Amino acid sequence: LSSLRTGIMGGSSCPIEVMRRVMDKMHMSEVTIAYGMTETSPASCQTSSQTPLEKRVSTVGMVLPALEVKIVDTETGDVVPIGETGELLTYGYAVMKGYWGSRFKTRKAIQDGWMHTGDLATMDEDGYITVVGRSKDMIIRGGENIYPVEVENYLYRHPKIRDVQIVGVPDKKYGEVLAAWIIPKEPGSL
């Protein structure tokens, strides 16, 4: 692995501890993060090897050339202000024509050419996008919206945690509460 210098991680932002391990153990100091989905062929946003490490681990980069993205209120469809959370939509040549044999699914996912990703995101003043979770994954605990990825990224910083997944479970008092599945780095170390 000593000859590696770059690569692409995909799907969502990468916890800083994972990024550090990739950079140190795999020698990939120029690794980037890409975001997209099969329906958007496959990337809509990406960091670059020159993106500061802080932005590479906390965002999925900026929109790629010849594409457009917007973040909209899930209720009204209006574009949200910079820094506010909403659903990420993608528009442009990379958006699929439709789901094979399912006009209903296509009409639900693509409206006026905009692909509704189902991902909740924010955009900062520099145009960097942070995916905070999936609208279906959002946990509402006592009226507060909690995004599992934010809790997971926080727990990843613990030196004894190798991997973690957060899910919502029903609760009589709060509606939902968080449950964490944790894999320790060493058995019995937590």
Structural class in CATH, domain 137-190 = alpha beta
d(CA 144, CA 154): 18
Instruction: Give the pLDDT mean for 65-91.
Output: 95
Identity at 149, one-letter amino acid code? V
What are the structural domain ranges in the chain? 8-136, 137-190
pLDDT digit string, tens, across residues 36-60: 999 998 899 999 999 998 898 889 9
Q: Match domain 8-136 to its CATH number in 1.10.101.10, 3.40.30.10, 1.10.10.10, 2.30.38.10.
A: 2.30.38.10
pLDDT digit string, tens, across residues 138-173: 787 887 778 787 888 889 889 999 889 888 899 899
Q: What is the pLDDT of residue 116?
A: 95
Let me know: does 80 contact 97? Beta carbons within 8 Å.
no
Q: What angle do CA 100, 108, 58 make, to 5 degrees?
A: 100
d(CA 175, CA 138): 12
Q: For the chain, what is the largest distance between any 2 Cα atoms, rounded to a whole number of angstroms?
A: 55
Instruction: Give the pLDDT mean for 164-188.
Output: 90
